[in-house]
Amino acid sequence: MGRLARARIPRRLRPSLWTFVAKRLGIDAATVPGYLSDYPDFLTLFTRPLLPDSRPLPESSCWLSPADGRLVAHSTVTAEGSWVIKGTPYSTAELLPDGELNGLLGYQALQIYLSPKDYHRFHAPCDLQILSAVVEPGDLQPVDPSLTRRSMRVLVTNRRILLHCRNSDGTPFALLYVGALNVGGMSFPFDTTLGQGPWVRTSRTYDPPHLLAAGEEMGRFEFGSTVVVFAPPELRSLTELDGQTLARTPLLANPQGPETTPDTSSA
């Protein structure tokens, strides 16, 4: 898939081919910046940026969804470190590559699935510091929710990268990026070697930490995949968001700021 995705398409063929691809995958062509003929290969189209000013940040500070995927599961990290996502049991020790809770007890674990039609870059959910990264090698099985419901334990057997972070108040949290079928690589602008081959079990500490502002791009997937967010426990009620596509949707309200309206439109 990697070579095919990077195969250069003659410009004269691009409009009709990309129109067909967009229709087949459900990509809204109106959300694609520029002209379809500007995209030389499938990967460039798939990892396209957002349209300028198409996703303004809320006026008040809040904790945002880091990706435009669909919220397919959420659970609480318990002292025992075990919980269930869509009928599949997991333990924190096996899901997190380093097996460390790192102050995440009582946190909410949110599984956000990115389908092929979704915008595939992910962004900082708040002003944050990236403290460390853990790389775990593994398979590249599909992460479609219909398959994970059948107890395919892809969240612990697929390639994944864990980022340990803290927000501007010093509150720790974690972001887990899970590879999927055809997703051989992930890229992270703050560390250009992270997510690239060869995939071996490694960890790295950032001293000083990498600083990112809310909404700033953190990285991208090369095909449909999953983000698991270990978010602070002061979450809004997530039941109303089950199955919805999150597009910078506020997940944590700002207790001192005005209420914001969730944007649950597709990317």
Sorted by sequence, the CB contacts under 8 Å of residue 10 that are 6+ apart come out as none
Give the per-residue pLDDT at 189. 94
Q: Which of 167, 80, 174 is nearest to 132 (CA)?
A: 174
Residue type, 171: T
38 and 75 fall within a common domain: no
The predicted structure's pLDDT at residue 75: 77
Are residues 153 and 117 located together in one domain of the fold? yes
β-bridge partners, 112: 71, 227
Structure tokens at 148: 């994970």
Does residue 60 lie in a domain region?
A: yes
| Distance from C-alpha of 155 to C-alpha of 176, rounded to nearest angstrom | 9
Judge whether 181 and 140 are in contact, CB under 8 Å.
yes
Q: Based on the domain organization, do 149 and 49 belong to the same domain? A: no
Are 158 and 39 contained in the same domain?
A: no
Per-residue pLDDT of the chain (267 residues; tens, 9 = 90+): 556 777 899 999 999 999 998 888 888 888 888 888 899 998 888 888 888 877 777 766 677 888 888 888 777 777 665 656 556 666 766 777 766 666 788 888 888 888 878 888 899 998 999 999 999 887 666 555 555 554 456 677 778 899 999 998 898 999 999 876 655 578 899 999 998 777 788 899 999 999 999 889 999 987 657 888 888 877 655 555 555 556 655 554 433 333 333 343 333
Statement to judge: residues 115 and 62 lie in one domain = yes
Residue 188: per-residue pLDDT: 94
One domain, residues 142 and 77: yes
Integer Cα distance of 263 and 54 in angstroms: 12
Whether 103 and 166 share a structural domain: yes
Query: Which residues are catalytically annotated?
Result: 68, 123, 225
- Provide the residue type at 194 as one letter: L
- Residue 159's domain comprises 55-252
Is 0.85 topped by the overall pTM? no
Q: Which helix (H) or strand (E) holds 6?
A: helix 2-6
